[in-house]
Chains A and B, each alone.
Chain A
Amino acid sequence: MAAPMLRGCCLARRGALACIDGGSRHGRGAAIGCRSSGKRGRSSVAQQPLITAQKSGKGEHAWAAVVGLEIHAQISSNSKLFSGSQVQFAAPPNSLVSFFDASLPGTLPVLNRRCVEAAVMTGLALKCHINKKSLFDRKHYFYADLPAGYQITQQRLPIAVNGSLEYSVCVGKKRSQVITRTARIKQIQLEQDSGKSLHDELRSQTLIDLNRAGVGLLEVVLEPDMSCGEEAATAVRELQLILQALGTSQANMAEGQLRVDANISVHHPGEPLGVRTEVKNLNSARFLARAIDSEIERQINELENGREILNETRSFDCKLGFMPEPNLPPLLLYDTASLPPGADPQQVINIDRIREQLPELPSETREQLVQQYGMLPEHSFTILNEVGLLEFFQNVIKETRAEPKKVTSWILNNFLGFLKQQNLAVNESPVTPSALAELLNLLDRKAISSSAAKQVFEELWRSKGKTPSQIVSEKQLELMQDGEALNQVCLAVMEEHPQVVLAMKRGNPRAINKLIGLVRKATLSRADPTVIKEILEKKLSS
């Protein structure tokens, strides 16, 4: 379920939050909007979001919100971060647990190479500085799903720092203006995932499944550079796409492979930042934006009513500091220059090699689409944002002679429209790329009219297995190829409706459309309206 591309900003429930730019403020309460700078073209601007509260009789006080994110992505690897047990979704409970995962006394962690490579790849893709030396720590707290009583993480010196995540916002009246925003990345660290606990209220017991305990996670910490729920959701979506392109995480939120915690505060512009609260474990793209915006709204309400913001998570925060993990030596990475001579390639990781082998990133893919297919930038976002749509698009392109722009238009308007209407994902579509390609080919060589094409398309959704050609012949939608016959029909219609012809002669624009309609009816919609219009106009002028 892709988050919609950011349009203006912050559409939320009850209309309390609305875009300032071209939108309108509804009713009372706070209105949140992210105002565009008004500049044309792309720009990286640190936006000053403006949230205005309306208080009866007291005038307006502007509020600004600040959102930071901690994103946990499960690393896509065969085995866990520090042990050899398998990583697999939905396996029988406690079937993927090694002695180390169960914290049996005397067991020791052994670092998984693939996880380190995944961290380096992700750091490079996010323009981070890769620390050639990083350290592992223990973070202590007691919880049933944490067998050792501590989590091994990288707090002091993580593997990557100081990067940035670019995401794009569409603003403007027609939302056709693409603005790039940047969220700084504070750090990326490797750490263990915890197990799962299921609370059985009925029997007053808690069931623990340790399958997930010890799975490798990448924690990506984004600085509080975002200003509302939609910005955060867009940033998360972009990160998802990057991780999926790299193959370092499948980043499927529904399966818990990507989880987001948001840190949120509000303040008056020009004043210091407010008290932060945390919204934890958001695992749905859709609810992410809403949850964040709700929290912003709640904070504003509290403050406006003279109350304080309480940081509840902090009170449960473990007071124990970190302790270095003594069983893991410092993690040392090399580049080509610093690689020790004669080093066993199995034992060392070369950052330069990994950089060379980075696959194409989403931003590059989008740029390609724009260059190669003449697509508008905002369309390239939509194609990438919808799961599976890029592949679908590319498959159609392969099999059709139609112009890329035509393909784009059909995919974004017709195809995507039907998907949304029927609430389907791309991979659930009854229409295959081949089918659409065939349809576009028919249209391209003018075997059918565009309205006929739409009819066929509709039919394709309903009846599985039929090809467009089959539908065309069943419904007799082929365009009349016989020019002379069409000529005759036009003449006949004109003769039958002299008043309309007269109206046409007098310059009534609706008259010609009426005639076209009549001709179409007479030809059982098998004539191309454009061609009909041409013939009629010719006749008129003669």
Chain B
Amino acid sequence: MLGRTLREVSAALKQGQITPTELCQKCLSLIKKTKFLNAYITVSEEVALKQAEESEKRYKKGHSLGDLDGIPIAVKDNFSTSGIETTCASNMLKGYVPPYNATVVQKLLDQGAVLMGKTNLDEFAMGALGSDTGGSTRNPAAHCGVVGFKPSYGLVSRHGLIPLVNSMDVPGILTRCVDDAAIVLGMLAGHDPKDSTTVQDPVKPFTLPSLTDVSKLCIGIPKEYLTPELSSEVQSLWSKAANLFESEGAKVIEVSLPHTSYSIVCYHVLCTSEVASNMARFDGLEYGHRCDIDVSTEAMYAATRREGFNDVVRGRILSGNFFLLKENYENYFIKAQKVRRLIANDFVNVFNSGVDVLLTPTTLREAVPYQEFIKEDNRTRSAQDDIFTQAVNMAGLPAVSVPVALSNQGLPVGLQFIGRAFHDQQLLTVAKWFEKQVQFPVTQLQELMDDCSSVFEIEKLASVSLKQ
């Protein structure tokens, strides 16, 4: 049951094959068994069971709220959840219990979803598995063999999403299949008066059509994305995917995004600048961690922020402050803004030339083993891992990573589709067609569990958290 799609589970709940409480308990049990993975920072067991109970009551009366009623969900720990600790995986917010729900969280709860807990992330979402600011919905999705969808900027409310880069952050959706992502998007999209950057146009929930004919579709392959660092396996899969479209009648052409090579540096300047600004509020005064020093306000700030933030965060704040200095502002920040405009225009030009959707790799290679991972510093890692995903954030476009195949090592590999701004539905339609063609096997949790049994022996050591 835990391996089924949203629709399948929802149908099972409606038919009474399983109750929300049973489903919830199965989830909780699996969470406990996989505790060594440190996937959850907070497991909201009581809350979840209560919500499951209420969902059950509704189903008994035949008044279910919809497709999401009784469905277990998890929310990354940088979304504000009322009454449930929200830490952003940082010391700075240890013990911080928000008094309000992020809009997207509220919408999911209003639909009857059952909140299992808050999931782990790099401190303030600044690691290589980054944020949905540079690709951290799509990257982990590709590495784990699930669907990771990034909506168009402005489509989904950011109210309550603790920001990294306000001008690029977007709530991302991780699901087992494209259809499920579309269902959730339908519930989350739309104008939020609490977020002035959401578009005013009304959004109606939609059902994704099942495309059969792709002959009218034009797929673009950006040539700059063929980099030497790309693993041969991924490259081969990318090629196969392009051929697949072509063989089914779609037009597949090479396109150019000439400013691609500047996007990493541009992203770094803008990201650190906004980060420096966004982190300024963490001073220990109103909420969160406060040091013991009370000699003076300045001393208190310094100690609080030193204790509260890790190296990566502090490094980014310092970089950002540098770029925001009066004497540097023009040369760094403004310049980066201009380059950003160029990058965004690259995409506009390509889409204006008749391309519907771009097809690119999501990551350079399959997931890197832990020992190898910790060898490089954060900046290098970010540069490497975000290379295909982050230009999309700068342009505010929708993108989705769809699992394609297992690598030779048996690890998942995904490919990315990038769509026109606010054409999320079209994008997901194409992705759904592709998913059907590819038939990537659903993750079998039991097998995974058996494989992991050897890991139980070194449970204490394996803090696979990505905190430094």
Contact = CB atoms under 8 A, between A and B. Distances in A.
A384 B321 CA distance: 50
Contact of B80 (A103, A106, A320, A329): A106
Contact of B167 (A99, A148, A320, A326): A326
Contact of A329 (B79, B197, B325): B197
Contacts of A321: 324-326, 328-329, 333
Contacts, number: 103
B345 interface: no
Given A147-B286, A326-B274, A108 B195 contact: yes
B29 to A, nearest CB: 31
Contact of B286 (A104, A108, A143, A326): A104
Interface residues of B, number: 46
B427 to A, nearest CB: 24
Contacts of B283: 142, 144, 147, 149
Nearest to B157: A108
A302 to B, nearest CB: 28
B160 interface: yes
Contact of A142 (B194, B280, B326, B329): B280
Interface string A308-333: 00000000000111110011110000
Contact of A105 (B273, B281, B297): B281
Interface of B: 79-80, 86, 88, 93, 96, 98-100, 102, 158-163, 165-167, 193-197, 200, 273-274, 277, 279-281, 283, 285-287, 294, 297-298, 301, 321, 324-326, 328-329, 333
Given A99-B99, A104-B286, A148-B280, 17 more contacts: A102-B287, A104-B80, A105-B98, A106-B159, A106-B163, A107-B159, A108-B159, A108-B196, A108-B197, A110-B194, A142-B283, A142-B301, A144-B297, A319-B325, A322-B329, A323-B333, A326-B197
Nearest to B124: A105
Nearest to B98: A104
A105 B162 contact: yes
A345 B333 CA distance: 37
Contacts of A328: 196-197
Interface residues of A, number: 33
A287 B17 CA distance: 80
11 contacts: A102-B287, A104-B80, A104-B98, A104-B99, A104-B287, A105-B80, A106-B98, A208-B285, A319-B325, A319-B326, A320-B326
Contacts of B279: 149
Given A144-B285, A321-B326, A328-B196, A105 B93 contact: yes
Contacts of B325: 319-321
A327 B159 CA distance: 10
B326 A106 contact: no
B163 A111 contact: no
A150 B276 CA distance: 11
A147 B197 CA distance: 22
Contacts of A319: 325-326
Contact of A147 (B161, B163, B285): B285
Interface string A107-126: 11111000000000000000
Contacts of A379: none
Contact of B196 (A110, A144, A147, A323): A110
